Amino acid sequence: MNPEQNNQESLLIAALERRPEIAVPVDFHLRLRASLAEEPARRAARRVSFARTTAYVAAVCMAVALVVLTMLYPETIKVPESMTFVLELLLVAQLVAVGFWLGTHSEG
Look at residue 69 and tell me if it is in a domain: yes
- Per-residue confidence (pLDDT) for residue 41, from 0 to 100: 66
Look at residue 68 and tell me if it is in a domain: yes
Whole-model pTM: value is 0.52
Does the structure show a pLDDT above 60 at 108?
no
Q: Convert the pLDDT of each residue in 34-56 to its tens digit.
A: 877 666 667 777 777 788 889 99
Look at residue 2 and tell me if it is in a domain: no
Look at residue 35 and tell me if it is in a domain: no
Give how many domains the chain has, as a whole number: 1
Q: Name which of 108, 69, 71 is nearest 89 in CA terms.
A: 69
- Per-residue confidence (pLDDT) for residue 38, from 0 to 100: 65
Report for 1-10, 17-26, 44-53, 57-66: range of highest mean pLDDT? 57-66
Look at residue 45 and tell me if it is in a domain: no
The CA–CA distances, whole Å, from 73 to 62, 87, 88, 91 equal: 16, 12, 10, 15
Contacts of 94 (CB under 8 A, 6+ apart): 58, 62
- Per-residue confidence (pLDDT) for residue 54, from 0 to 100: 92
Domain that includes residue 99, residue range = 50-104
Look at residue 55 and tell me if it is in a domain: yes
Q: Convert the pLDDT of each residue in 53-107 to its tens digit.
A: 899 999 999 999 999 988 898 887 787 788 888 899 999 999 999 999 999 987 6
Look at residue 85 and tell me if it is in a domain: yes
